[in-house]
Amino acid sequence: MKAILLAAAAAFALAAAAQAQQPVQKAPTPQEKQALNALAKQKAQTEKQYRETAAKIQQLQPSVQSCQKVLAANQSLHKLLADLKTQNAAAQQKINQAPVKKFTPQDAQKAQLELQEAMQRQQRMFQILSNLLKAQHETSKQIIQNLK
C-alpha cells in the first residue's frame, strides 16, 4: 500500500512537472519503480479481465437474444391464455343465460355442428399453445446447454 502511495505521488509529481513544462530532475527511487511496476501489472491484469469479460459477453449475446424471444413468446402465451379464459367465461355466461326451449332435429344438428366447430377451434388453440410451450422449453434447454 505504501508503495502504491509512493507511486501515485511520483506520478503526480511527473504530471505536475509536465504541466509546468519543466524537466524532471529527479529519477524515481527503487520503491517508486517497484510501485509503478506493481501498478503496471495491476493495469495489465485488469485489461486482461476486461477482454475476457467482453469475450464472454459476446459469447452470451445469442443466448440473451434467445431469452428475449422466449420472453416474448411467454408474453404471447399469457395473452392467449387470458383470451381463452375470457372466451370461456363469455361462453359459460351465454350457456347460463340461454332460455330453455324445445329443440327441433335441425336445431340439434346446428348445435352439434357449432359444438364441433368450437371444439376444433379450442383444439387448434391448445395445439398452438402446446407448440409454443414446447418451443419455449427447447429454447430454454438449448440456452442452458450453451451456458455449460
Is residue 148 helix, strand or coil?
coil
Give the separation between CA 81 and CA 75, rounded to whole angstroms: 10
pLDDT tens per residue across span 38-92: 888 998 999 999 999 888 888 888 887 888 888 888 888 888 888 888 888 888 8
What is the phi/psi pair of residue 31, to 5°? -65, -40
Domain containing 111: what range? 2-147
Identify the residue with better confidence: 8 or 58.
58
The secondary element (H helix, E strand) that includes residue 120 is helix 105-147
pLDDT for the residue 48: 92
Q: For 105-137, what is each residue's pLDDT tens digit?
A: 888 898 899 999 999 999 998 898 898 888 888
**Structural domains of the chain, count:** 1
- Whether 7 contacts 35, CB under 8 Å: yes
Separation CA 114–CA 123 (nearest Å): 14
